[in-house]
Structure 1
Amino acid sequence: MNEPMDGAARRAVAPVICYPVADLPQPDLALYQRAAVGAELGAEVIAAPREAACIEVPAGSYLRITSIDGPQVGDLNLFNANDLSERFYSGKTRALHGTHVTTGDRLWSSFPHLRPMATIVADTLGWYGIDEYGGSVHDVIGTRCDPYTGRLLQGTDYHHCCHSNLTRGLADHLGLSLADAEPHIHDVLNVFMCTGFTRDTGQYFMKASPVRPDDYIEVFAEIDLLAVLSACPGGDCGSEHTSDTAPCHPLKMTVRTPIAGALGAWSSPTRNAYDGTHGL
């Protein structure tokens, strides 16, 4: 294919940020971080290697996900605990905050709700930044490893990929059949996963996560949440992510509750104010 005469000029057009974050409603991060200091330990669960676990996180409390035994990536689904139709929207979160998230970024919910579900208040891997390959940590690019893509690429069935883990976890927690649970499983926050895009072909890549035991990411629950976390069969995702080959480790989810009055007059964000008429 021949390049047009003005090809270089077309490439040189400056980019425009689609959604300037200065225009977003800003969280009171200082308030959330102050209230977190004296927060009291509540419920705690362990996601075993190549399995998933669920935990309920009341609005106004904190969810901490911690690496406890070794480098391990987790795939996180978030739901409104009172309405499964409101779930984490990774695509809109990516459009608003970028391909990877860290302290101060928010995790947004699906249409027609589109409101903050959670705000990241702490991230011990925040130091990583963007590496020489263009990689970074806590990815909202990838979808989750799943048995359908595995069947397409390898021609075999593997049942402990994150999609299947999340399906089983949600089904067990809510007493649903697998068939009823699976449609609720959605694109994830890839906790601790280090990823990017190659600069020559634009392919999605992963590399060994920099996470180590006691590293954590903590979010403030803006609404009542149901969190479902899969300890990915890829371990640190430094080699492959849909098999029993990689060493895997558990992940811990902990809920912490601020002491009375620590949040002042804070209240949950309301559902998006769009009138829903769509021009009719």
Structure 2
Amino acid sequence: MPTPRVIYQPRPGSPIDVDRVFYGRLGQETETRNQIEQFVVPIRSGRAWPVLAGQICRIVVVEGAQVADFNAWNLNNPRERFWAARTKQLHRAHVTTFDRLWSCLPYLRPMLTITADTVDYPLDEDGAGCHDLLGTRCDPYVHKMLNGEEFDYCCHSNLVRAVAPYHLDESDVHDVLNIFQVTGLTTDDRYFVKPSPARQGDYFEFFAEIDLLCAISTCPQGDLSVQAWGQDADDPIDTCHPLGVEIYQPHPGLMEGWQSPPTSDYRGIHGLDRP
């Protein structure tokens, strides 16, 4: 059998190969930050909020384990949005500190860089990891198909409601990063989940590379410890918890030399004949 190889290998200095000293300082030197905003997202709901380029955003476990389905757009151009599939290829299927979330074509640039992740969950004996890019959001269409119920509080619907005040709609909601969610593939290549290992006080933190509109859904499946689909389905509401969001401005001294990344400079015409 051929030896597996990682397909997208960066050259030295590539945007995939981040400056760990710079982003490490941003994540570690927290005492000089200025907190700009703080709020809590209730259970089975969603919220959207801006994070400006150069700010740090932290998603916090304020009570018990809870999965957050995360979307991101360019605040000034929502056609540029998070691209889960390419991020998974460029980094890994479960992201952590120093990984980046990338935007879709034709923009293709880092939207944010992860600066801290307190959930210490390396790949386990089943090949599962935390902060999932393998799957996507739960939605009412699949819920109706599998459970036969009209349920308006799936993550997709939560995100639809969250972005409505920003003049976005259902078509703008896209594949997610499942923060605090543990997933993997079975030996017969099927997607599985495990209960979230996050505990009160844990957080997932990122640095905004561009002006962002961010949104999360507090997943109606809570910490994913209860079977919510199929014949043995039960209501997991007792495993649902709120999540906190905190936004910070780093000390200016930590930002020296940083610039917001430009969009891709590919200017070809895809081989199309044009007059």
TM-score, structure 2 length as denominator?
0.91
| CA distances 1:49-73 after superposition (whole Å, capped 9, x unpaired) | 0001122111011010010000100
Write the letter of the residue equivalent to 1:223.
Answer: I
Q: Decide whether aligned partners of structure 1 residues 35 and 129 sit closer, same or farther in structure 2, where only a CA change above 3 A counts.
A: closer
Secondary structure of 1:262's match? helix
- Which residue pairs with 1:183 in the alignment? 171
> Residue type matched to 2:75 in 1?
A
State the Cα distance separating 1:154 from its structure 2 match.
1.7
Identity of aligned residues (%): 43
Name 2:60's counterpart in structure 1: 66
**1:106-121 matched pairs, under 5 angstroms:** 106-121=100-115
RMSD over aligned Cα, in angstroms?
1.5
- What amino acid is aligned across from residue 21 of structure 2 in structure 1? A
Q: Matched residue pairs, number? A: 262
1:225 aligned onto 2:219: no
Q: Distance in 1 between matches of 2:235 and 2:243?
A: 17
Give the alignment partner of residue 245 of structure 1, picking from 200, 216, 236.
236
In the alignment, is the contact (CA less than 8 A) between 2:72 and 2:81 conserved in 1? yes
Residue 193 (str. 1) matches residue 181 (str. 2): yes
Residue 152 (structure 1) aligns with: 145
Alpha carbons of structure 1 residues 15 and 33: separation in structure 2 relative to 1, 3 Å: closer
**Secondary structure at 2:254's aligned position in 1?**
coil
Specify the alignment match of 1:29 in structure 2: 20
Letter in 2 for 1:20: Q
Check the 8 A contact 1:113/1:272 in 2, yes or no.
Answer: yes
Native 8 Å contact 1:45 1:54 kept in 2 = no
Q: Which residue of 1 aligns with 2:135?
A: 142
For 2:170 and 2:74, the matched residues in 1 are separated by 16
Pairing partner for 1:133 from 126, 134, 137: 126
Name structure 2 gaps, 5 residues minimum: none
Secondary structure of the equivalent of 1:261? helix
Match of 1:123 among 117, 123, 126: 117
Deviations 1:20-42 (A, max 9, x none): 24564222232233244222111
Partner in structure 1 of residue 9 of structure 2? 20
Tell me how far apart the structure 2 counterparts of residues 14 and 223 of structure 1 sit (CA, whole Å): 38
Shift in CA distance, 112/87, structure 1 to aligned 2, threshold 3 Å: same
Q: Deviations over 1:127-160 (max 9, x none)?
A: 2100111111000111100011112212221110
- Verify the 8 A CA contact 2:23 2:98 in the aligned structure 1: no
Could you tell me which amino acid in structure 2 is paired with residue 15 of structure 1?
P
* Cα separation, 2, equivalents of 1:202 and 1:144: 19
Contact 2:26 2:115 (8 Å CA) reproduced:
no
CA distance in 1, matches of 2:192, 2:240: 19
Q: What secondary structure, in the 3-state scheme, does the structure 1 residue paired with 2:161 have?
A: helix
Is 1:41 paired with 2:35? yes
Q: Distance in 2 between matches of 1:40 and 1:33?
A: 18
Indicate the SS of the match to 2:43: coil
Instruction: State the alpha-carbon separation in 1 of the partners of residues 228 and 268 from structure 2.
Output: 40
Distance 1:218 1:141, change over 3 A: same
How many angstroms apart in 2 are the aligned matches of 1:76 and 1:188? Answer: 5
Shift of the alpha carbon at 1:261?
A: 3.3
Supply the distance in 1 between the matched residues of 2:10 and 2:226 (Cα, whole angstroms): 35
Task: Name the counterpart of 2:155.
Answer: 162
Q: Give the TM-score, by structure 1 length.
A: 0.89
Q: Which runs of 5+ in 1 are unaligned?
A: 1-11
What is the DSSP-based 3-state SS (H/G/I as helix, E as strand, rest coil) of the residue aligned with 2:179? strand
Whole-Å separation in 2 of the counterparts to 1:95 and 1:117: 16
SS in 1 for 2:244: strand
Compute the displacement of 1:168 (Å).
0.3
| Distance in 2 separating the partners of 1:90 and 1:240 | 25
Aligned to 1:165, the other structure's residue is in SS state helix
Contact 1:63 1:253 in 2 (8 A): yes
